[in-house]
Each structure stands twice: as C-alpha cells, then as structure tokens.
Structure 1
C-alpha cells in the first residue's frame, strides 16, 4: 500500500514536469515563462478621475476627482488640536498633505524626495488646508509636515 502511494506521487510529479516544460525549438526544455506583473496594461481610472501619476502632480485632489471614496489616510499625527495627514489616492497614484482643526496662519507641506507642495489656512473661520498632489507609487514615500501659527511644528513618521 505504501509502495502504491509512492508510485502515485512519482507519477504526479512526472506529469507536472512533463506538462509544464516547453521546448525552445532545439529539443531542449525551457522553463515556462509567465508575464511579469508590470507587463499587464494599466487599468482605466474610475469614472470622474481626471489624472493619474505624474499628471496629478501639482493638481487639486478634489477638482481632479481623486478624493471622496478614492482616498485613504496613509499616515496621521496630531499637533495639539490640529490633525496632520498624508492622504493617498491609489486610483490617481498621488498623495497630498492635509491639516484639519487648524487656524489661520497654519501651513502644511507634503514631500516626496526633493519635490514638495505647500498650502495654508488664510481665511478667518477656515480650519482645513490641503496641498496639491504629488505622484507616488507607494504612500510611504510621502511625508507631511505642518507649521502652526503658534510656532509648533511636526511631521508624519
């Protein structure tokens, strides 16, 4: 019975080898090649999204359709009563910085490498500011920093 099981396993292994190898035309077997994940075409952006990747850099996330249900908070921290966030839209391939609970004079900056974008709260009664977007492949590439009117500063990670 054990011998029959062993023979069965060997037959299965031989079958897998036989059916998964390919010939390179010279009679030599070659490995089966599967396409790399980057070989597949990019999916179309969802309806309403007006940019993707580097085309989003410097643009407003709301105007370009990258916010709403298409955004997540990649990182956040608090500075007193102000929340600082790195916002990320996978559909757009872009990140931006945002502060909420702020006051006039507060500023936010998002950086990816040497590229950065800034924004601030300028009008009385406003409590939110967000930067223009920067293209990123991974939201961990982006870092947001804030400088509050009170002089307090802080950054994500």
Structure 2
C-alpha cells in the first residue's frame, strides 16, 4: 500500500512540474531567447559567457586537422558565433570571422591563447544573415580554419 501511495505522490508531483514548465530539459524555446542578453549585431564583440549565449550553443563546425581543436560555436537564440580552441599552445591566436579580408573590428575578433593555457575563446561575431568561420594561427606559422556556417 505504501508503494502505491508513494507512486501516486510521485506522479502527482511530476504532473505539477510539467504543468508549471519547471521540468528540467523541457524549457520552452522562448526560454533560451529570454536568457540571452543580445541578438545578431547586438552581440558583436561581446562575451558569449557573459551574455548567456553559451547556454544553448552548439558546435557547428570543427577543424579537420590533427592537433589543436578549433570549433565554431553558434547560438541560435543569439544568432551569433564565436571560436573556441582546445589543446593549443600559449601564443597561438584564434579568430572568429564573418567577412573576408583584414581582421577588423565588428567583422573579426581575435584572442591569443595565454602562456601556460591550452584553450581560449573569442568574442562573438554576428551570424544573422551572414556566414561565420574560425581560424587558428599557430606560432609555427600554420593556419587551421573551420568551414563557414
């Protein structure tokens, strides 16, 4: 009898959580947008972590080279992209781009991997209505890029 009461109580609690929208992993699509502090061109040059854009981001492109992993991260709620590198060396430089040419403010954001570190991420570039990609400029002169997304 106790297990039936316990089962009934658990089912009722689950139903209440579901009706309230508080079930973990069942957030409404608008919840992602509500947690982000910027969108598209409003995210340019900002930190994906400080704006909340990293919360629902995904890796959309990866470098195919052996060595440091270069990832192009994309947030659909922010419509912005940035580059993350892991297994790099201090002095390597990563860039997030959304237009060709020289790396300039608003179209490219670069970050140098700090000495003693092996990972870093860039500020965001607009990825609403344009394509973005990422590159790693290694200290030895090698350049590794992702495909555009």
1:94 is the counterpart of 2:84: no
**1:16-52 deviations in Å (ceiling 9; x for gaps):** xxxxxxxxxxxxxxxxxxxxxxxxxxx6753431111
Give 5+ residue unaligned stretches, structure 1.
Answer: 1-42
Following TM superposition, the consecutive aligned residue runs of length 4 or more in structure 1 with deviations greater than 6 angstroms are none
Larger RCO: 1 or 2 (CA < 8 Å, sep 6+): 2
Q: CA RMSD in A?
A: 1.9
Corresponding residue SS for 2:41: helix
TM-score, normalised relative to structure 2: 0.68
Give the number of aligned pairs.
Answer: 112
Alignment-derived partner of residue 123 in structure 2 = 132
TM-score, normalised relative to structure 1: 0.65
Alignment-derived partner of residue 52 in structure 1 = 39
Instruction: Looking at secondary structure, tell me which structure has more strand per residue.
Output: 1
Q: Which entry has the higher C-alpha Rg, 1 or 2?
A: 1
**1:74-122 deviations in Å (ceiling 9; x for gaps):** 1101443200111100001100111111110111011112511111112
Give 5+ residue unaligned stretches, structure 2.
Answer: 1-29, 101-106
